[in-house]
Amino acid sequence: MRSDNVTKGMQQAPHRSLFNALGYTKEELDRPLIGIVSSYNEIVPGHMNLDKIVEAVKQGVAMAGGTPIVFPAIAVCDGIAMGHTGMKYSLVTRDLICDSTECMALAHQFDALVMVPNCDKNVPGLLMAAARLNIPTIFVSGGPMLAGHVKGEKRSLSSMFEAVGAYAAGKMSEEDVVEFENKVCPTCGSCSGMYTANSMNCLTEAIGMGLQGNGTIPAVYSERIKLAKHAGMKIMELLEKNICPRDVMNEKAFLNALAVDMALGCSTNSMLHLPAIAHEAGVELNLDIANEISAKTPNLCHLAPAGPTYMEDLNEAGGVYAVMNELDKKGLLYTDLITATGKTVKENIAGCQNRNPKVIRPVEDPYSETGGIAVLKGNLAPDSGVVKRSAVVPEMMVHSGPARVFDCEEDAIEAIKGGKIVAGDVVVIRYEGPKGGPGMREMLNPTSAIAGMGLGSSVALITDGRFSGASRGASIGHVSPEAAVGGPIALVEEGDIIQINIPENTLNVAVSEEEMEQRRAKWQPREPKITTGYLARYASLVTSGNTGAILKNN
């Protein structure tokens, strides 16, 4: 056992004396030491219940013969961080979470790990750590929030942001906004639509690192506690069998995750996180393959913000395994892969039927024959741009309009709410990429303002930043190369005609190459927005959005 390095032999007597100080008995030190990585805190709604999840995991580990030991991981609430400097500190925590977990796990020689994340960056950060460490690991998330109810309709956080836009347009009263404010987020848990947190928790199931229900059992259900106990017990089986993350997260598993991503209509942030996780697992996940998978993978779910159904509905319909079972009918999954259940994908999904074809469309009757995410390329995005195709209205799938150019999110929001953006416009927000932001802020405020003001079916938004999973509409993010490194998005001028063709996966600006070269010759890099602290260090190491915004030494 790895923990023998701190618990066995005369040379380890000093180590044992410190375990004595912690109150551990000889019997406990004779058992495998299982690290439980807890993302619990009192500022993130999706994490306020993780203390109960962690206690259940501890019980499961102890019942199965292990010694559970808890240590923390940080977490940022994207919703609270949205629309101000705080959003610069969201994506960047993914690497802090990964690095700090590596430090804790190796410094203390844990034999295996149970990861307990829930919200946006914790899930990919801990999956990255699992792949990097490659010791037996299983995940159990805190679960999704129940949908809110406003005026007899289910609602979620995206509805709240759009309500602010509707108020700015004079379409909603202050009293109505207050009602939304008090009702859209009724319980603890990760926000109730197919936003980034729920996307990544579902993809954790799809990739094989969590038990059935990890992505969909609501946070407030007692079934979630039982799931956590089973995860605690299961880690002892994985340790005994020496099933490690890289045994599970191989190239075919990532292709499975992409297929499920397309079927569910996940957040575009998955196109940042899956390549980053794959990188840590030693797998190159080129985004070009996303369109190949999308071309043959039907979109089966329209969960909020793409439609009127929520995570609780997906859970009742059969969850992620039911979606996978539908995909398997067309042979779209690799089913012989081992997973953290100790079984293969095929064994996991056997008998998992679709219990509500209105929530999970049958594979013979999908929302569309192609997947929920599209990767676009063209002279405006030579490397790539990403759009949640399933959340785009039909009339915006092909769009051409004049560029309205802004060099930061705040200026764009002021123009949108000030009525300066009109039908047909293409809002361009640049210098918000991984390096230029720094931190690649999410643009939920501008997309929600556009939707709330009734412009969602006539205005597009393009950025080298990214979008919340709660964004909907023709919102194209991750445009690479980003403006800060001189990508073409930095050369766009007010009034240039932007051409979007999502069915053909193209994104272009109607400007000749000669003109673009002249503009490029005049372009000068901007001074860094932040020159001290973690963000400055992050900006110096981060790569482009199309590579997952991973960190590399210069």
Decide if pLDDT at 4 tops 80: yes
**Distances from the Cα of 301 to the Cα of 266, 298, 315, angstroms:** 9, 9, 12
Q: What is the mean pLDDT of residues 452-481?
A: 92
pLDDT of residue 169: 85
Strand boundaries in 132-249, DSSP class E: 137-139, 148-150, 153-155
- Express each pLDDT in 293-323 by its tens digit: 999 999 999 999 999 999 999 999 999 999 9
Q: What is the mean pLDDT of the chain?
A: 96
**Is the pLDDT assigned to residue 221 strictly greater than 80?**
yes
Q: Count other C-beta atoms under 10 Å from residue 274's C-beta.
A: 25
Q: Judge whether residue 482 has pLDDT over 60.
A: yes
pLDDT in tens, 390-413: 999 999 999 999 999 999 999 999
Angstrom distance (rounded) from CA 98 to CA 102: 6
Q: Lowest-confidence range among 22-31, 63-72, 124-133, 438-447?
A: 438-447
- Please tell me the least confidently modeled range out of 219-223, 253-257, 465-469: 465-469
* pLDDT score of 473: 87
Can you tell me the distance from the alpha carbon of 143 to that of 139, in angstroms, rounded to the nearest whole number? 12
Instruction: Report d(CA 506, CA 498) in Å as an integer.
Output: 11
Is residue 539's pLDDT more than 90? Answer: yes
| Active-site choice (468, 471, 475, 480) | 468
Res. 371: pLDDT tops 80:
yes
What is the secondary structure of 39-51 as a DSSP string? ---SS-TTTTTHH
| Those residues with Cβ within 8 angstroms of residue 529's Cβ, 6 or more apart along the chain or in another chain | 436, 437, 438
Please indicate whether residue 173 is annotated as part of the active site: no
| pLDDT for position 554 | 55
- pTM of this structure: 0.96
Transcribe 421-487 into DSSP letters.
--TT-EEEE-S-STTTTTS--B-HHHHHHHHHTT-TTT-EEEESSB--TT--SSEEEEEES-GGGT-
Enter the tokens of residue 337: 């892969």
- Taking residues 272-292, report their average pLDDT: 95
Confidence band, pLDDT 50/70/90 cuts, at residue 469 = confident
**100 in the Ramachandran plot: left (φ > 0), alpha (ψ -120 to 50) or beta?**
alpha
pLDDT at 445 (0 to 100): 87
